[in-house]
Structure 1
Amino acid sequence: MTHTLSSFDVAAGRPGPVAGDPIRIEPVPPLRLLRAKKAYTTRFLADRLDRSPDGFSLREGPGVAPQAGDIVLAKVAGIGQHPKLESPVSRRQALFIGDEILVPYGNRYAADQFLAQVPPSLDPCHLVAAGGVAGLVIAQHAAMGTATRITPVGLLADDSGVVNLRQLAPQQLDPTATTTPRDAAPVQRPPVIAVLGTSMNSGKSTALSCLARGLTEAGLAVAAGKATGTGSGNDPGMYVDAGAAKVMDFTDFGFPTTFGLDYASIQAVFSGLVAELSDPATDVVLIEIADGVYQGETHRLLSDPLFRDAVDAVVFTAADALGATAGLQVLRAAGIPIAAVSGVLTSSPIAAQEASAAVNVPVVQTVSLCEPSVAVTLLPQAADG
């Protein structure tokens, strides 16, 4: 069949066919798609397939150049670091060699795991996240095993062209959207607390969830979201379990990961997330920012007036006193108010004591954030008073 570009293809900057690099478009039987294991990141596609699995095709051949968010049908070629794939309902599905899976392409930045990028073709690549991301590993942590290997069959397409997560997402980016400054009047919005940390696995998600629990137990309606990172149901699920009444993240805007996005999209995701969570029924909004303060997107976001206008206070997580001290210096230089230090370091009474002596903000044990009397003291009006 002849390859034509859809309006989404053009908007995404998708290249057209190159002479000598053929692109084949093959119909795909509905049953094949229904049998394929779907990832958490493709949950909106799974919903669509459940309603109607007809009318899809696969774009195959050496002329196919995937983009971030494009959904690929791939076969598992070798089991490695990720032996399971998180399902649309966040169940861990065991993978077997020969399984067909539906996952989106994406870039990944995980200092404790993989650095990966969208490959330029449908050549064999890797499953680089359990939540479902296909990418080509270019660096990895020494403690990681070999990445699970996958062999792409073709990009999923319909009558409009290649199917990208952006088309399926319930939330669409508004590049003109801005957050409401904390001192703006007469517009009212709930206070926003951001949770940041020194690095991956510093305790951000646990701290946010414990804070959500404490504020919920205090009788407040909490909304929680994750603005950056790699798609997975673990963190949003933990927010729900903690009592958050409304939960969203960047995958609701159609991004399997936020690493490698143009900064305007990062801004739009952050602004859109805050706006969607700040409804009249919400008393406080909690936002997690992934990775560490020196990660590219995070570091730029911290210096953005848009972030400073939206965020009323930060809970900062760290693994040790030195990390806490250095992180607070970065936040203060950016003019961001700090409510408390928490995270992994509070698992050690000695480390927590060292941090308390080094910083002039409260050092709060993560589990103590679950206590209503502790959680409410971190609210901006309480901190200001």
Structure 2
Amino acid sequence: MPLSILASNGRHRRPVDLIASSTGRCPLTNPVAVAPYLVAEEGYCVVVRALEDKQGYNQLEAADGTFHTVRKDMVFVGTLGERQALKGYSGRIPRRIAPGDVLHLLNMGGIIGLCTSDHPDLGPALRVEVLGAALVELDDTRAHARIQDYALEPAFTLSHSAPLVMVSGTAMNTGKTHAAAHIVRGLTERGWRVAAAKLTGASLRRDVRMMQESGAVACATFNDAGVVASTNKDMAPFAKGIIAHLNEAVPDVIVLELGDGFIGYYGVDDLLLDKELQRFTRAHVVAATDLAGAWAADHLFRDRYRAPITAIVGPVTDNAVGKQYIQNALGIPAHNALQDTGALVETVARAVAGASLSTVPYALAGVAL
């Protein structure tokens, strides 16, 4: 039996309107078995009721990837977790949680916690009433639903891998996902087997689903590794577990998006510093909003990560002004992922296939560039 606590007296089944995507691989069914005893720790699934209607930031991603507007009295299953978003809500898990407590919906993936900082563009976080703990029913047993119990195994070392393409950024909402998806699509159209993942961020499957729809033969996210949000964690074992899992599909290359920015609380900096991951990384694509961000990224990669930037993308490349500065002053290729997709894919493909592949068991030598 996993660490989950068996349900106490008073458990019952309750129909819900939606099971949020943050519940990950938990085999929840509707109606959901509910118990009154809750464990106030990350990863435990909770049944809640929306206490109000909200204008803006009122969408919730279901486990099947569809988005729904949260209405007052809507009952859904979310997952306890924290969030520390620069352009969103921040919140934490209270020390104790009981039915009737009021918490908040912290993101569109269904992370539930106590909001500690609103955002002026989004208004106050939507309030929810805790109804109870969601239970998983397997055979004749019931246990508290916890995403860690159904997660990919972490890996503390990575002995081999297909070449990695890291897509990082100066902050959230800089175009990382679109760049990663276009790279996946472009390499797939060249005949490569491409796997993809999102390694850091707050639970939301939309981004990795975009990569899957772009042609990735295998996809995963940190949520599959049992992480609700990658804040304040050593993410390397989870990242390596995901990469090991993706390598089972025998890809030619793995495209990895690092959610949030390299300066922040989500663990991006630690992954970029990891020597084992550096060993298999063949390309770094960096998304930036402005020239100051591009300049800072150039210095950070040269001085701290000791790795060249393969290409800069994002809003800073929306017109010739940014591109000219990046290419002339920084000496880095600048490609807009939407306008210059072919050039971006070409740059990444050459970085991957042009590197020595003697350390990995995957042959790209016959792939035409």
Q: Would you say same fold, with TM above 0.5?
A: yes
Contact 1:210/1:369 (<8 A) preserved: no
Deviation at 1:59, TM superposition (A): 2.8
Q: Of residues 8, 28, 44 in structure 1, which corresponds to 2:3?
A: 8
Call closer, same or farther: CA 1:222–1:25 in 2, change over 3 Å. same
Deviation at 1:190, TM superposition (A): 2.1
SS of match in other structure, 2:324: helix
Aligned to 1:342: 313
Aligned to 2:79: 104
Moved more, 65-74 or 353-362: 353-362
Call closer, same or farther: CA 1:246–1:237 in 2, change over 3 Å. same
How many angstroms apart in 1 are the aligned matches of 2:259 and 2:344? Answer: 24
How many angstroms apart in 2 are the aligned matches of 1:325 and 1:300? Answer: 21
Aligned to 2:232: 260
Quick check: 1:179 aligned with 2:135?
Answer: no
Call closer, same or farther: CA 1:374–1:340 in 2, change over 3 Å. closer
Quick check: 1:164 aligned with 2:146?
Answer: yes
How many angstroms apart in 2 are the aligned matches of 1:197 and 1:299? Answer: 11
* AA in 2 matched with 1:8: L
Aligned residues: 345
* AA in 2 matched with 1:89: D
Aligned to 1:42: 23
* AA in 2 matched with 1:153: L
> Residues 331-372 of structure 1, C-alpha deviation per residue, up to 9 Å, x if partnerless?
22222232111112112322222222331121112125632x
SS of match in other structure, 2:51: strand
* AA in 2 matched with 1:310: F
Contact 1:218/1:376 (<8 A) preserved: no
Call closer, same or farther: CA 1:236–1:153 in 2, change over 3 Å. same
Aligned to 1:130: 108
Aligned to 2:117: 139
Aligned to 1:370: 341
Contact 2:311/2:347 (<8 A) preserved: no
Identity of aligned residues (%): 24
How many angstroms apart in 2 are the aligned matches of 1:241 and 1:227? Answer: 18
Contact 2:311/2:333 (<8 A) preserved: yes
Deviation at 1:207, TM superposition (A): 0.7
How many angstroms apart in 1 are the aligned matches of 2:258 and 2:126? Answer: 27
Contact 1:322/1:355 (<8 A) preserved: no
How many angstroms apart in 2 are the aligned matches of 1:206 and 1:228? Answer: 16
Aligned to 1:313: 283
Quick check: 1:70 aligned with 2:44?
Answer: yes
How many angstroms apart in 1 are the aligned matches of 2:341 and 2:186? Answer: 4
Aligned to 1:26: 10
Quick check: 1:322 aligned with 2:292?
Answer: yes
Q: How does 1:131-280 map to 2 (within 5 A)?
A: 131-157=109-135, 159=141, 161-169=143-151, 171-174=152-155, 177-180=156-159, 189-261=161-233, 263=234, 266-279=235-248
Contact 2:201/2:259 (<8 A) preserved: yes
Contact 2:301/2:307 (<8 A) preserved: yes
Deviation at 1:68, TM superposition (A): 0.6
How many angstroms apart in 2 are the aligned matches of 1:348 and 1:361? Answer: 16
Quick check: 1:90 aligned with 2:85?
Answer: no
How many angstroms apart in 2 are the aligned matches of 1:73 and 1:235? Answer: 25
> Residues 87-113 of structure 1, C-alpha deviation per residue, up to 9 Å, x if partnerless?
111111222211211000111122111
How many angstroms apart in 1 are the aligned matches of 2:346 and 2:319? Answer: 24
- The structure carrying a bigger helix percent of its residues is 1
User: Which of structure 1's runs of 4+ aligned residues deviate more than 6 A?
Assistant: none
Contact 1:210/1:242 (<8 A) preserved: yes
Contact 1:179/1:309 (<8 A) preserved: no
Deviation at 1:65, TM superposition (A): 4.5
Cα RMSD (Å) of the superposition? 2.5
Contact 2:170/2:261 (<8 A) preserved: yes
SS of match in other structure, 1:354: helix
Contact 1:103/1:134 (<8 A) preserved: yes
SS of match in other structure, 2:238: helix
How many angstroms apart in 1 are the aligned matches of 2:347 and 2:256? Answer: 18
How many angstroms apart in 1 are the aligned matches of 2:73 and 2:21? Answer: 20
Q: State TM-score, norm by structure 1.
A: 0.82
How many angstroms apart in 1 are the aligned matches of 2:123 and 2:83? Answer: 16
Call closer, same or farther: CA 1:146–1:87 in 2, change over 3 Å. same
Q: State TM-score, norm by structure 2.
A: 0.86
> Residues 196-232 of structure 1, C-alpha deviation per residue, up to 9 Å, x if partnerless?
0000011110111111111111111111100011111
SS of match in other structure, 2:3: helix
Structure 2 stretches of 5 or more lacking a match? 357-369
Call closer, same or farther: CA 1:370–1:281 in 2, change over 3 Å. farther
Contact 2:218/2:249 (<8 A) preserved: no
